[in-house]
Amino acid sequence: MPLPAYVWFIYYTFFALTLVYGILVLIKGVIPRLWSTIAVVGTILFLPLAFSYSFYRPENENEWEHFINGIVRGDPYAWLLLLFFLYLIIWWFFAIRGIMKLGPASRTKS
């Protein structure tokens, strides 16, 4: 049984926002540029990799179950996806913190 549509909406919205915000943070330079470059390039690569990982899942599992079972089994591909997703969450924390330190006037200027 596939995941509900709202889950996919949240999933793809997260990655779309990460891509757009990653480019903006990269341009502004509020955190080390390498971190933002990894976030942007990784986001572009993550979606096809995650799709290819779930492509060969058993019919009785949805994508989430397949991912969790892969982590439990110690599948390196699943762990790589998990670690990158955790990296993005940490990156979001530093990116938002960096933008907040700029102040309101700096956020509106290019």
What is the C-alpha to C-alpha distance for residues 4 and 104, in angstroms, rounded to an integer? Answer: 38
For the chain, how long is the longest CA-to-CA vector?
53
The predicted structure's pLDDT at residue 98 = 86
Q: Domain limits at 58? A: 5-108
Closest CA to 110 of 32, 42, 28, 53: 28
pLDDT at 107: 53
Q: What's the pLDDT score for residue 105?
A: 57
- Count of domains forming the chain: 1
pTM: 0.82
Kindly give the residue spans of alpha helices, DSSP state H, lying in 1-110: 5-28, 33-55, 63-73, 76-102, 104-108
Give the whole-angstrom CA distance, residue 110 versus residue 107. Answer: 8
Helix (H, G, I), strand (E, B), or coil: what is residue 62?
Answer: coil
> Mean pLDDT of residues grouped by 10 in the chain (110 residues)?
87 94 90 93 92 86 92 95 96 90 62
